[in-house]
Amino acid sequence: MDAGTSDSQFLTQASNALNAGRSMSKAVHAQNMRQARKVARDFEAVFIGQMLQPMFQNIDAAEPFGGSSSEKMWRSMQVDEYGKAIAKAGGIGIADAVFRQILKAQENGSHGSNQPRQ
């Protein structure tokens, strides 16, 4: 076997492995971005739901339901769903801020600086 041929094969294999690693890295990065965006949106939905809860606490229910204890139990779930719907429709901007902070935390973690900033 010619030394030039084996070097060429080695370089081709190394290049293929490098490209495969880059493709995998891009896929992992895209997956991390999707997960970070979902976590940020979920956080915003919970936050909005918690902010809406006091608005609905003192509202008396009208007929035909009459405000029974069952209705009060379901109301908190309904308000949580309002929060999810608001967040899904674009929210109030909290998800974007949380997303940026998640990315910053991941970036700091990938550089080995896990210590909090002062």
pLDDT band, very low/low/confident/very high, at 70 (cuts 50, 70, 90): confident
Look-up: residue for tokens 């094969």?
Answer: 9
Q: Do the beta carbons of residue 41 and residue 88 sit within 8 Å? A: yes
Total Cβ atoms within 10 A of residue 87: 22
Given a cut of 90, is residue 16 above it in pLDDT? no
For residue 28, what pLDDT is reported? 67
- DSSP character string of 72-111: HHHHHHHHHHHHHHHHHTTTTSHHHHHHHHHHHHHHHHHT
For residue 71, what pLDDT is reported? 75
Handedness of CA 14, 16, 18, 21 (dihedral sign): negative
